[in-house]
Every structure is written in C-alpha cells, then in structure tokens.
Amino acid sequence: MYADDISYGSEIRDAVLSLCERFPDTYWREVDRERRYPTEFVRAMTEAGYLAALIPEEYGGSGLGLRDAVTILETVHASGGNGGACHAQMYVMGIILRHGSEEQKKRWLPKIADGSLRLQAFGVTEPTAGTDTTSIKTIAVRKGDTYIVNGQKIWTSRAEHSDLMILLARTTPKEEVKKRSDGLSIFVVDMKKALGNGLTIHPIRTMMNHATTEVFFDNMEIPADHLIGEEGKGFRYVLDGMNAERLLIASECIGDALWFIGRAAKYSGERIVFNRPIGQNQGVQFPIARSYAEMSAARLMVYRGAELYDHHEPCGKEANIAKLLASESAWQAAEACLQTHGGFGFAEEYDIERKFRETRLYQVAPISTNLILAYVAEHVLGMPRSY
C-alpha cells in the first residue's frame, strides 16, 4: 500500500522505511503503554540526519527542502510510528534559520544538526488566549542586556525533553500598539539554564503519549542576544513557522491514513465470515476505497504547499487547507479501519486503538478545523471576519 503513486522522494522514503523497520509495532506499543519519550527512535533519526533535514549543509545539516521533510514524516507514520518527537524540531528550527542572525545560526544550528542540542519546544499557546495569539499575556521586559519574562504557556509539548525553546512573548503592551499583532517578540530559551531559575514545567497527561506540558515563567532571565529578529516583529515570524508546522502535521496525517487504509484492506482479505472474506462486501470495501481517494486528494495539497514554501512563495492558503483535508482524511480512514476490524480494533495488540487516539488530535491541534474554515472564509474568499 505504501509503494504508492507519487514517485517524489522515493529514495528518502526507502531509507526512512529501512530505519523504521528497526522500530516495529511492539516498540511503539510499549512506548505508548509506558507513556515514555521515544528516545531510541529520536536518536536513530538524529544520527541518520533526518532531524537536520532542513538545516543547510554549511551549518551541518542535510540541506533538504520541506517537501523532503514532508516525505520523511509521512513515511514514519505510514510505518506505524509517530513523528511527534521529530516534527517540532523541523519546523521550529526554521524560525532561527529564516529570521535569526548569522551569529545565532552558527551558535545553535550545528549543535541542533548533530543532536547535541534538542530544539523541540515551542512556547506560544496560553490558557486564556488559545489560538488568539495576539492576546497572549506572557511579557518580556528588557533590563540592560537581559529580558525578564513572566507568564505561562500551555500545550508546550516535549519541554521536558528539549534543551532549547522558541518562546513568543509580548515586549510592548497591547494597548500601546497600533496593530494587535505588533509588540510580540521571539526568543530562544536555554531551558537547561532556566529550569529552576524562573522556569517551571508541569506535565499534562492526555489521551495520547504526546509528552505535553504547562510551563511557567517567574522572573526568568533571557540574554538580549537570544532575541530572534527585530523586537516586536515576532508574530510575523511565528506565522511563517506555522505554515511549515501545518504542512508537516498534514504529512503525518497522510501517513496515518495510509497506515489505516493498508491495515483495513489487508484485514478485510484475511477475515473470513460466512465462508468468505469480509472484503467481498461492498459495505466493507467502499469506506476503505473512499478513504484512499480522500487521502490521495489531500496529499496533493500537502505537496503543493510544501513546494510553495520551498520557493519562498505565499502558502498560507495551501498549508491550512492541506492540514484540514489531511486531518479529516486520516480520521475517516481511522473510522473505516476500526469498523473493518470490529472488536479486534479495540485490542491493544492490533495497534489500531493507539493510532486512532493519535490521529484524532490533529483535527484540534495545532489548529482546529473550525479556525481553518474561518481563515479560508476571510482570507481566501474575502468574507467578513467572524467573531
């Protein structure tokens, strides 16, 4: 099922598939059961250079494009794994790459590329702001060569397993700016130095093993040279990173859909009821076939968005629509797969219930389906802004 109809990146897919064979269903089942970080998998991906895919060769990376990164994560998920511990480093790193100074790039990117530093934490969302990013309350006040940060972030995944965090904070009060999106700034936080010195991390247990947390800042100090780009222009940098984030998450959804479709099609030919395979019944066939058609259409949008991103062309429309379609196609494929397996689909040993839980997340995070529809209505179709 995975040797499919899009030939782009076939060499990368084959290489990633080979790596993923070392981490079968039993590995991911155990990681999920124990709610632990997939250290061995992340190490293997790092050593193979996949987490440094988007870092230019001059900084120790592979110098690949987002289309290649899309292929990598899609393959991980199509193989039954989960790229949650990998995707953040790919898209968060892009903020440093695209907006950081040359000194900052040389300081951090080589170490991120060789794995001596992990950049997997992205501190944006807050309990009282949600996806209304311009309403965040975390503040950073400059005092000499230091910024003093106070506030709180939520759903900051892998903060406990990251050395660095990209943090969005308000440096100019909202009431003092002309546009709501002004006055927000991006910083790189050295979490190892900050932990216990103004930074506190609280794990949040969720229905899937996503290592997400709530983080608190209490007079936490950040060196002024950890500011990325211009002070007050951080919202624009975040939007650029979010397009990459949506496309990478969408690629994981495509991989999930491929996995569900492959498992459902295989099982429907093996499961015998009334002396014939259940796959002979159109009631079983059609949902699986429709899932494949929907996945194929969504996949084209994912690759189109990645192509535009790599050419530094506007891709907000494509990135958001790709995320919408891919997450919904994955969920429909999950439903078809679970329905095909019946009661066995709820058994841990079949791995469907694990992937079922994991793929449901992506209709909510990193942005919900309704917010994407609101974006398309306003920014693509020109309809009035909704409130």
DSSP E strands in 35-170: the ranges are 119-123, 139-143, 146-154, 164-170
Where residue 71 falls (left for φ over 0; alpha for ψ -120 to 50; beta otherwise) is alpha
Angle at 193 between CA 187 and CA 199, to 5 degrees: 70
Q: Which residue of the set 126, 221, 231, 245 is catalytic? A: 245
Active site residue 34: no
Q: What is the 3-state secondary structure (H, E, C) of 227-273?
A: EECCCCEHHHHHHHHHHHHHHHHHHHHHHHHHHHHHHHHHHHHHCEE
Contact 185, 236 (CB under 8 A): no
Is-cis flag, bond preceding 223, omega within 30?
A: no
Backbone angles phi, psi at 162, to 5 degrees: -120, 145
Check residue 385 and report its DSSP letter.
P
Cα gap 242→125, rounded to integer Å? 12
Q: Which residues are catalytic?
A: 245
